[in-house]
Structure 1
Amino acid sequence: MTFTRYAIYYVPPAQAEWGQFATSWLGWNVYDGGFVDHPQGIDLDVATITDVPRKYGLHATIKPPFRLADGKTAEDLAERFVAFATQASPVALEGLTLARLGRFLALCPVGDQLGLNRLAFNFVRDLDEFRAHASASELEKRRAGGLTPAQEQALVTWGYPYVGDSFRFHITLSGKRPKTELPAIEAVLQDRLVPQLPSPFSITDLALVGEDSDGRFHLIHRHALTG
């Protein structure tokens, strides 16, 4: 399959029960590259709630989606990804918690995140030679919501504003919803998902993923962090 963009994600293990539920909740499986049915017995319009993040699948972004730079190949990227993963160390945190980030819901880590943030920045930096520079329209789209000076500098340098001190690891579970809807969605996730969340929560591998021509993401390769 030919991909238009690539990214580095944290993707929960396929065998993890919490990941299986959350994958079904979103409706897209990056492992199989296919749609999955939403969970049964939920009195909510889950398809609408998850419409925006569905195409990305269940994940947390480490290096955001990018087009390949001229002269770089997908094979070169995969080789560098594996080489860097073998040098990077796993990260251990206390757990995951359901949180509101503005008007959308996500799973966020609990505990000291310094090692996690360092891991993410190292992947952003060390794989950046594979990233084609963002177009003027892409930059303006990122600026539309308003950026801090540090985020503007990150956007210019790395093509994405939420890098370094602005990075926040999160596993998105909804699109932006009216505030009045959030309590009902939270209640379902608190009941069905939160009891399954791991404690402690460890990141022991990362995934190279690709975006197809329909904008949906697929797992290309995952590799253990063995540094």
Structure 2
Amino acid sequence: LFIVLVFLGYDYYQSIQPNIWGDEPDESYITITGKKPTDAHIVAWATFWVTGDECKTYSYDMFGRKAHQGGKIDKKYTYNFSDDPSRYELRLPYKSVVDNNNCNIELRDFQVNVLNNFDGIAGFRAYPQGELPYEKAISTSMIIEARDCNAEFHQGKNDMWDGWFNCEYFVGNKSRLKDVRPYEFYYDFSQFSDDTIIKFNVLAGENYRSEPLDKKIGPQE
């Protein structure tokens, strides 16, 4: 069932400049920073729960019928605070607040994606710690890396080419090659503060590619 979240005067996490958070003194944030190829850009998404018995924001179905109170919000962040083309710095909101509609806004999860003109290079997803063994929180001081990011190609039965990046993920210098989802990490969100810095490095391999792929011609290098 398709659900649409309708905002009634919603203004929380709306920065003065679109897609920028952390440029104002009253905007608390965590920092995500690291190395990247110079041709790459960063796109982050954060998802927030919208809840509360007094919440005046509602979700509606595709027919315009009120489905339930509250819902979730997806926010995009693209501003790079670093002036160094080989690095990036993102700032994401993390504090739970009550907005003007008496709704509780709480960070549910976030993801960071590093892309160039060829394809998405690498990324990671962060979730709150859980009870399952693989949901155990890691320290924010542990460095996450996507190493040896190389372009790979495949020619399909229709003679059209596809291309993508393949990287090996590490956390604290330990390979996650055998993990089912090596790009997923869990944190204790309750420990986040304005001093929290998560380091995620994306490192190009020998077969890194910057140029877009012509799907008819394929790789020419």
Q: TM-score, normalised by structure 1?
A: 0.25
Higher relative contact order (CA 8 A, sep 6+): 1
Q: Which has the higher strand share?
A: 2
TM-score (norm 2): 0.26
Larger Rg: 2
